[in-house]
Amino acid sequence: MSLLLSASAYGDQFSVFANATTFWDTLTVTSDPGVSISWLGTSNQTEAIQFFNSATVGDQSDPNWNPLSYSNQIGGAVASGEATAQSLSSTIVRSGYPPSGTDWMNVQKGGNFRVTGSGNVTFTIDYSLAADRLVNASSLPYPFIETGGVVEADLLLYIPYVQGLDYSQHFMFIPTVECSVSDSLSQTGTATVSYYLTNGQTYWIRAESHSLVTVEAPEPSSLALLGFGLFGIFFSPRARKGLSGKWL
């Protein structure tokens, strides 16, 4: 599904970039002696999902861990997701507005495996989070613009359709700032999940990358309505009488 809205671009005066990447090729499994896992090749899933203001506007999936690439633009925001054998990457790039609101891109990959032997099994995966922002409000038509967001990398382990066993979530927040701001943030690390798994049982492991950017700015129509509203209040007979009584 594609949703295109016209937006004004402001060159190097306004840009917000957010990216989360989990490196699938670093997924490592360690276990107690005598315990091993085997991928079943069933219920494998790679998926890219785009949201705007909590509503799904795009969804692309592949059931066989094949490479996946997704991109869609809403106004001044481009959301993209990519899944390869090496990594899962979600990106939001804001270079203009309207519309105001929250853009969210999620890329995830997971699959079923069966355990032989009972014991502790640990999964680890590396991740990278990054954000860059430049807002020069003095050069923009909306001086009250507000920007913020979060990037996130997750690793989840659970029994399919039954219960979650362990999860590892890593956030990097883009501080909410009104008006001008220039900053660059980055974070790298390793997500880890571990649990005592039972011989013969089927489990599911999933890695996720999330990027979320929020931009709030008054639309030109809102500013116009505000102006007319203030104009109407000031020049109404009751308001003028009240002002005259107060100040004269």
User: Has residue 86 been placed in a domain?
Assistant: yes
- Domain around 110: 8-217
User: Has residue 3 been placed in a domain?
Assistant: no
pLDDT band at 18 (very low <50, low <70, confident <90, very high): very high
Lowest mean pLDDT among 1-15, 42-56, 159-173, 181-195: 1-15
- Report the pLDDT value the prediction gives residue 141, as an integer from 0 to 100: 73
What mean pLDDT is predicted for residues 147-162? 95
pLDDT tens sequence across 103-152: 999 999 999 999 999 999 999 999 999 999 999 888 777 677 899 999 99
| Mean pLDDT across the chain | 85
User: Has residue 116 been placed in a domain?
Assistant: yes
In angstroms, the CA 213 to CA 99 distance is 12
- Report the pLDDT value the prediction gives residue 172, as an integer from 0 to 100: 98
Question: Could you tell me which residues come within 8 angstroms of residue 238 by beta carbon, excluding any fewer than 6 positions away?
Answer: none
What mean pLDDT is predicted for residues 65-70? 94
Q: pLDDT higher for 179 or 70?
A: 70
User: Has residue 2 been placed in a domain?
Assistant: no
Q: Is the pLDDT of residue 226 over 60?
A: no
Q: Is the Cβ–Cβ distance between 136 and 4 less than 8 Å?
A: no
Nearest to residue 98, comparing CAs of 218, 223, 206, 244?
218
Lowest mean pLDDT among 10-14, 38-42, 149-153, 193-197: 10-14
Task: Quote the number of domains for the chain.
Answer: 2
Same domain, 18 and 46: yes
Same domain, 116 and 207: yes
Strands 68-74 and 77-83, by their bridges, are antiparallel
User: Has residue 170 been placed in a domain?
Assistant: yes
Q: pLDDT higher for 139 or 23?
A: 23
What mean pLDDT is predicted for residues 219-226? 47
- How much of the chain, in percent, has pLDDT values that exceed 70? 82
- In the chain, the amino acid numbered 100 is S
- Report the pLDDT value the prediction gives residue 8, as an integer from 0 to 100: 61
pLDDT band at 99 (very low <50, low <70, confident <90, very high): confident
pLDDT band at 6 (very low <50, low <70, confident <90, very high): low
Q: Is the pLDDT of residue 73 over 80?
A: yes
User: Has residue 102 been placed in a domain?
Assistant: yes
Beta strand spans in 95-118 (E) = 96-97, 101-116
Same domain, 227 and 150: no
pLDDT band at 248 (very low <50, low <70, confident <90, very high): very low
Same domain, 170 and 236: no
- Report the pLDDT value the prediction gives residue 11, as an integer from 0 to 100: 57
Same domain, 45 and 104: yes
Same domain, 229 and 142: no
Same domain, 31 and 130: yes
- How much of the chain, in percent, has pLDDT values that exceed 90? 68
pLDDT band at 27 (very low <50, low <70, confident <90, very high): very high
User: Has residue 1 been placed in a domain?
Assistant: no
Same domain, 225 and 186: no
Same domain, 24 and 83: yes
Q: pLDDT higher for 23 or 138?
A: 23
What are the CA-CA distances from residue 158 to residues 23, 95, 164, 195, 200 (Å)? 20, 39, 4, 9, 15
Same domain, 98 and 86: yes
pTM of the prediction? 0.83
Same domain, 157 and 184: yes
pLDDT band at 82 (very low <50, low <70, confident <90, very high): very high
Same domain, 124 and 240: no
